[in-house]
Amino acid sequence: MEMQLLATLLSTDSYKENRNRLRQDIFSEPCQEVYEILGQAHAKYSHNILPDEIYALWHSDHPVATATERADFKDLTEDLKLATPISQDVATDVIEKLWRKETGRQIADLGINISEGDASAMGILQSLLERVADSYMPDDFGPTTTKDLDELLKSTSNANRWEFNIASLSRHLYGIGPGEFMIVLARPETGKTSFLVSLMAGPMGFCDQGATVLYLGNEEETSRTMLRCVQSASGMTRDQIVADPKTAMKGFDLARDNLEMMDVVDWDLDRIDAYCRKMKPDVLVVDQADKVGVSGQYNATHERFRELYRRLRELAKRHKCALIGVSQASADAEGKTRVDFSMAEGSKTGKAAEADVILGIGKHSSGEDDEVDHSRFLTISKNKLSGYHGTIATMLEPDIARYRQ
């Protein structure tokens, strides 16, 4: 049957019809080399391929082959001559069934690898399942990108985005929407979490706008972050909340119904993906993204970050959520008011390549005797959404976890 299938694929039309469904693994080992040469020939020549031409191409690639090797391959091409081609529609069905069989074998092998503790097998299996999720052999790839101007304008309109509630920021960068990926970059003790809290739970933040927000924290306990959300929503300090919790919770009412938090220490990206499938957030915040595990073997830190941030971007698109990932800035950003993507810790260009927006938070350097300076500077160094690049001065109110212009 394999020889009949290969005989059918000698035809240029048959090969082109089934090209996207073909793979070397569906053939047994002796026939794989014939298939490989057949594919190379069709890529180079625009006519039907003859069995003798298959042998000639093989022989030219193996000038020092032994007499036994030449005889064995010659026998294969002689069998190919004798094989009767099958019809186009039958060939398509046969290829589909062989493809399904091979896919099932791969899934089974990966399952065994997972049971034996192979950390990279789960990510490979997930990618394989995503490719074949709709059908074992999809031949309907859906519509191409619309050319309707109204639809194009609608899909990129700010009406589809959740607005940033810092006026000086939103004037230049309105907000973030489904499938869009933003990186927030800063040094420790700069106010990264307060910035996120302010965007999520502050007045007219994402929650107030009706977005379902999921915050995943793997650094400080999220119970502390949730309390800061109460402070930001109510505008009350911790002492004021202790004195009047009823008023505090009334101010938090609107945000409370739309905000969920989870401690995700030691979670990897596969587990976060599964949790998003369950929670279906409009906005996902990962604090910090750098600490999320990602399956695979990597020779250097920047290679791991590149793959991690690539898959975070895919996650945003797959779940149609706005994703904000927090990243540490390197020592180059210490005491700097302008923090750009070149200062991302442990990365070369991998992080910057994947993001739609990169926003760095900077502050003035300060000595031990200096008065506390709460001014902060938001630098947009990459922006595929509005095109603005520059630095915006803001003020951090740490007692109530808010940013204001």
Q: How does pLDDT run across 343-387, given as a tens digit for each residue?
A: 988 876 778 889 999 999 999 987 666 678 999 999 999 999 999
What are 327's strand-pairing partners?
A: 185
Question: Which residues contact residue 105 at a Cβ distance below 8 angstroms, ignoring those fewer than 6 apart?
Answer: none
* pLDDT at 78 exceeding the cut of 60: yes
The percentage of residues in the chain with a pLDDT greater than 90, rounded to a whole number, is: 50
Domains of the chain in start order, with CATH, are 2-131 (1.10.860), 155-404 (3.40.50.300)
Angle separating helix axes 51-61 and 29-44, nearest 10 degrees:
100
The percentage of residues in the chain with a pLDDT greater than 70, rounded to a whole number, is: 95
For residue 80, give the H/E element and its range.
helix 67-82
What distance in Å separates the CA atoms of residue 351 and residue 182, rounded to the nearest whole number?
10
What distance in Å separates the CA atoms of residue 138 and residue 93, rounded to the nearest whole number?
12
DSSP one-letter code for 25? G
* pLDDT at 138 exceeding the cut of 50: no
pTM more than 0.85 = no
Question: Which residues contact residue 59 at a Cβ distance below 8 angstroms, ignoring those fewer than 6 apart?
Answer: 65, 70, 73
Total count of residues recorded for the chain: 405
Buried-exposed string 115-128: b where 16+ CB fall within 10 A, e elsewhere: eeeeeebbbbbbee
What distance in Å separates the CA atoms of residue 259 and residue 345, rounded to the nearest whole number?
29
- Do residues 169 and 394 make contact, with C-beta atoms less than 8 angstroms apart? yes
DSSP one-letter code for 291? G
- Token representation of residue 204: 């007219």
Distance separating the N- and C-terminal Cα atoms of the chain: 73
Amino acid (one-letter) located at 93: D
Q: Model confidence at 165, in pLDDT bands (50, 70, 90)? A: very high
- pLDDT tens digits, one per residue of 240-261: 999 999 999 999 998 999 999 9
Residue 34, CB-side half-sphere exposure with 13 Å CA sphere: 30
